[in-house]
Structure 1
Amino acid sequence: MVTTESTSISELLFPHITESPQELERRYPPRTLGEDAFVTRFAPSPTGFLHIGGLFTAMISTHLAKQSGGLCYLRIEDTDKKREVEGGISGITESLRDFGIIFDEGVIGTGEERGGYGPYRQSDREAIYHVYAKDLVRRGLAYPCFCTESELEAARASQEAQKLRPGCYKEWAFHRNLTLAEVKERLASGQSYVLRLRSEGSHDRHVTFSDGVKGKVTLSEHDMDIVILKSDGMPTYHFAHVVDDHLMRTTHVIRGDEWLSSAPIHLQLFEMLGLEAPSYSHIAPILKQDGSSKRKLSKRKDPEAAVSYFKELGFPSEAILEYMLGLANWTYEDWRKEHPSEERDQFRLELDKMGSSGALFDRIKLEDISKQVIARMDAAEVYRHVLEWAKTFHPELAGQLETDPDYAHAILAIGRGAANARKDIAIWSDVPAYMAYFYENESPDVAASDVPDSITTEDAVKVIEDYASVYRHTDDKDEWFSSIQQLSERHGYAGNMKQYKKEPAAYKGHVGDVSLLLRLTITGRARTPDLYDVMQVMGNERVMARLRTRKEWT
Structure 2
Amino acid sequence: MSNENMAELLFSDVGQLPTDIYSLYPPRNLSISAMVTRFAPSPTGSLNIGGLYAALISERLAHQSNGVFFLRIEDTDKKREIKGGIENIIHSLLYFGIHFDEGPTLSGGEKGALGPYKQSSRIKIYKIFIKHLVQKGLAYPCFCDKDDLQKIRISQQNLKVTTGYYGQWAKHRDISFGQAKEEILDGKPFVIRLRSSGSPDRRIIYNDLVKGPIELPENFQDIVIMKTDGLPTYHFAHAIDDYLMGTTHVIRGDEWLSSVPIHIQLFETLGFEIPEYGHIAPIMKQVGASKRKFSKRKDLDGTAEYYREQGYPGIAIGEYFMNLINSDFEEWRMVNPHKSFRDFFIYTDKMNASGALLDMNKLGDISKDVISRLTGKQVFDHLYTWSKEFDSELYTLIDKNKEYTVKILNIGRTIEKPRKDYSKWSDLKTIIAFFYDEWFEKDVLGGYKIPTNVSLDVAKEIVLGFSKTYRFNNEKEAWFHEIKELAVELGFAKEIKQFKANPNRYKGHVGDVAMVLRAALTNRTNTPDLFDIMKVMGENRVFERMERFMLS
Equivalent residue number for residue 515 of structure 1 = 514
Equivalent residue number for residue 479 of structure 2 = 480
* Residue identity (%): 48
The CA deviation string for residues 180-237 of structure 1, in whole angstroms up to 9 with x for no partner, is 2322332333322111011111223211111111111111111110100112221100
Is the CA contact 1:445–1:551 (under 8 Å) kept in the aligned structure 2? no
2:395 is aligned with 1:393? no
Equivalent residue number for residue 283 of structure 2 = 286
Equivalent residue number for residue 370 of structure 2 = 373
Counterparts of 1:403-414 in structure 2, within 5 Å, are 403-414=400-411
The CA deviation string for residues 500-537 of structure 1, in whole angstroms up to 9 with x for no partner, is 56666654443223222221222111211110010111
C-alpha distance in structure 1 between counterparts of 2:541 and 2:447, whole Å: 22
The CA deviation string for residues 129-178 of structure 1, in whole angstroms up to 9 with x for no partner, is 12221222222211111112221122223333333332111111000011
Code of the residue aligned with 1:541 in structure 2: it is: N
Is the CA contact 1:446–1:524 (under 8 Å) kept in the aligned structure 2? no
C-alpha distance in structure 2 between counterparts of 1:44 and 1:551, whole Å: 61
Question: Does the residue aligned with 1:549 lie in a helix, a strand or coil?
Answer: helix
- The more displaced of 239-248 and 136-145 is 136-145
Is the CA contact 2:450–2:459 (under 8 Å) kept in the aligned structure 1? no
2:79 is aligned with 1:105? no
Deviation, 1:124, is 1.3
Code of the residue aligned with 1:537 in structure 2: it is: V
Question: Does the residue aligned with 1:550 lie in a helix, a strand or coil?
Answer: helix
C-alpha distance in structure 2 between counterparts of 1:48 and 1:480, whole Å: 57
Counterparts of 1:400-439 in structure 2, within 5 Å, are 400-439=397-436
C-alpha distance in structure 2 between counterparts of 1:461 and 1:417, whole Å: 34
Unpaired runs of 5+ residues, structure 2, are none
Aligned counterpart in structure 2 of residue 341 of structure 1, from 333, 338, 341: 338
Unpaired runs of 5+ residues, structure 1, are none
Equivalent residue number for residue 50 of structure 1 = 47
Is the CA contact 1:444–1:523 (under 8 Å) kept in the aligned structure 2? no
Question: Does the residue aligned with 2:31 lie in a helix, a strand or coil?
Answer: coil
C-alpha distance in structure 1 between counterparts of 2:442 and 2:7, whole Å: 84
Distance 1:157 1:443, change over 3 A: closer
Aligned counterpart in structure 1 of residue 158 of structure 2, from 156, 161, 174: 161
Is the CA contact 1:446–1:520 (under 8 Å) kept in the aligned structure 2? no
Code of the residue aligned with 1:97 in structure 2: it is: L
Is the CA contact 1:197–1:225 (under 8 Å) kept in the aligned structure 2? yes
C-alpha distance in structure 2 between counterparts of 1:443 and 1:115, whole Å: 53
Equivalent residue number for residue 127 of structure 1 = 124
Aligned alpha-carbon RMSD (Å): 2.3
The CA deviation string for residues 419-464 of structure 1, in whole angstroms up to 9 with x for no partner, is 3111122211112111111113549649999755654555433322
Is the CA contact 1:521–1:546 (under 8 Å) kept in the aligned structure 2? yes
| Length, aligned pairs only | 550
Is the CA contact 1:443–1:545 (under 8 Å) kept in the aligned structure 2? no
Is the CA contact 1:38–1:64 (under 8 Å) kept in the aligned structure 2? yes
Aligned counterpart in structure 2 of residue 273 of structure 1, from 249, 270, 273: 270
TM-score under structure 1 length normalisation: 0.94
- The more displaced of 365-374 and 5-14 is 5-14
Equivalent residue number for residue 381 of structure 2 = 384
- The more displaced of 173-182 and 38-47 is 173-182
Code of the residue aligned with 1:17 in structure 2: it is: V
Aligned counterpart in structure 2 of residue 114 of structure 1, from 92, 111, 115: 111
Equivalent residue number for residue 541 of structure 2 = 542
Code of the residue aligned with 1:336 in structure 2: it is: R
Distance 1:539 1:152, change over 3 A: same
C-alpha distance in structure 2 between counterparts of 1:72 and 1:303, whole Å: 28
Counterparts of 1:15-54 in structure 2, within 5 Å, are 15-54=12-51
Equivalent residue number for residue 495 of structure 2 = 496
Question: Does the residue aligned with 2:151 lie in a helix, a strand or coil?
Answer: helix
The CA deviation string for residues 386-417 of structure 1, in whole angstroms up to 9 with x for no partner, is 11122222222212112121111111111114
C-alpha distance in structure 1 between counterparts of 2:485 and 2:310, whole Å: 45
Question: Does the residue aligned with 2:291 lie in a helix, a strand or coil?
Answer: strand
Distance 1:551 1:254, change over 3 A: farther
Code of the residue aligned with 1:393 in structure 2: it is: F
The CA deviation string for residues 81-133 of structure 1, in whole angstroms up to 9 with x for no partner, is 22222222222222222222211011123741111111111111122212221
The CA deviation string for residues 235-258 of structure 1, in whole angstroms up to 9 with x for no partner, is 100000011111101000011111
2:458 is aligned with 1:468? no
- The more displaced of 129-138 and 234-243 is 129-138
C-alpha distance in structure 2 between counterparts of 1:426 and 1:95, whole Å: 19
C-alpha distance in structure 2 between counterparts of 1:128 and 1:448, whole Å: 71
Equivalent residue number for residue 205 of structure 1 = 202
Is the CA contact 1:444–1:546 (under 8 Å) kept in the aligned structure 2? no
Deviation, 1:27, is 2.4
Question: Does the residue aligned with 2:23 lie in a helix, a strand or coil?
Answer: helix
Is the CA contact 1:443–1:546 (under 8 Å) kept in the aligned structure 2? no
C-alpha distance in structure 2 between counterparts of 1:446 and 1:117, whole Å: 63
Aligned counterpart in structure 1 of residue 87 of structure 2, from 86, 90, 102: 90
- The more displaced of 29-38 and 490-499 is 490-499
2:287 is aligned with 1:328? no
- The more displaced of 172-181 and 185-194 is 185-194
Deviation, 1:31, is 0.8
- The more displaced of 4-13 and 231-240 is 4-13
Equivalent residue number for residue 297 of structure 1 = 294
Is the CA contact 2:499–2:506 (under 8 Å) kept in the aligned structure 1? yes
Is the CA contact 1:444–1:522 (under 8 Å) kept in the aligned structure 2? no
Is the CA contact 2:464–2:550 (under 8 Å) kept in the aligned structure 1? no
TM-score under structure 2 length normalisation: 0.94
Code of the residue aligned with 2:491 in structure 1: it is: G
Counterparts of 1:202-241 in structure 2, within 5 Å, are 202-241=199-238
The CA deviation string for residues 62-95 of structure 1, in whole angstroms up to 9 with x for no partner, is 1111000001111111112222222222222222
Equivalent residue number for residue 533 of structure 1 = 532
C-alpha distance in structure 2 between counterparts of 1:457 and 1:332, whole Å: 54
Counterparts of 1:144-155 in structure 2, within 5 Å, are 144-155=141-152
Equivalent residue number for residue 312 of structure 2 = 315
C-alpha distance in structure 1 between counterparts of 2:300 and 2:419, whole Å: 29
- The more displaced of 276-285 and 514-523 is 514-523
C-alpha distance in structure 1 between counterparts of 2:108 and 2:32, whole Å: 33
Aligned counterpart in structure 1 of residue 350 of structure 2, from 353, 378, 401: 353
Distance 1:504 1:443, change over 3 A: farther
